[in-house]
Structure 1
């Protein structure tokens, strides 16, 4: 299994109106839920001081990650770009170690 930290950054200026953005956020959260339900997303959340967010996920390949992100409502609407970093797990708090095994 491979592990990935994904940083999403909204384009500036955003090419959508605020009401459309709210719909896209709901769609994005619903889309991520599949990863939580199936156990391959450990966490996600918005960045504290700018548009976009962070996702930690595992996958069999980088292509699998890219395919997942390609179907994200944010990506399809052209409002966010992604920076993907593959990493190797070394150690962590007891509560998360089992996710990495």
Structure 2
């Protein structure tokens, strides 16, 4: 598996984003259920969010996030940063090393 930091940056004011947040979080649950997402949350200040994810290929994550309500409403841009987790807490071992 490849590991990614996904940076979501709002392209609209948060006042316009706020009503869609529950749909976005429901959408993210699919990624958690697949075992692709480890954690997610808003940036401070609220200019976007961060997701720690994994997938066999970046293309799979890009396709997945193309269905995010933020993307469907043209309210955010996405940046996918692949990284190699060489140091991590032992309780993450299975998530990091599982293929």
Give the TM-score normalised by the residue count of structure 2. Answer: 0.89
User: In the aligned structure 2, how far is the partner of 1:79 from the partner of 1:38?
Assistant: 25
For residue 69 of structure 1, what is the aligned residue in structure 2?
65
The count of aligned residue pairs is 97
The alignment partner of 1:7 has SS state of: strand
2:29 is equivalent to residue 38 of structure 1: no
User: CA shift at 1:94, angstroms?
Assistant: 1.4
Name the Cα RMSD after superposition.
Answer: 1.6
2:21 is equivalent to residue 2 of structure 1: no
Partner residue of 1:93 out of 62, 79, 89: 89
Runs of 4 or more consecutive aligned structure 1 residues displaced over 6 Å after TM superposition? none
Ranges in structure 2 where 5+ consecutive residues have no aligned partner: none
Deviation digits for residues 30-63 of structure 1, max 9, x if unmatched? 0000111221100000001132100011111111
The alignment partner of 2:59 has SS state of: helix
User: In the aligned structure 1, how far is the partner of 2:34 from the partner of 2:19?
Assistant: 24
The alignment partner of 1:44 has SS state of: strand
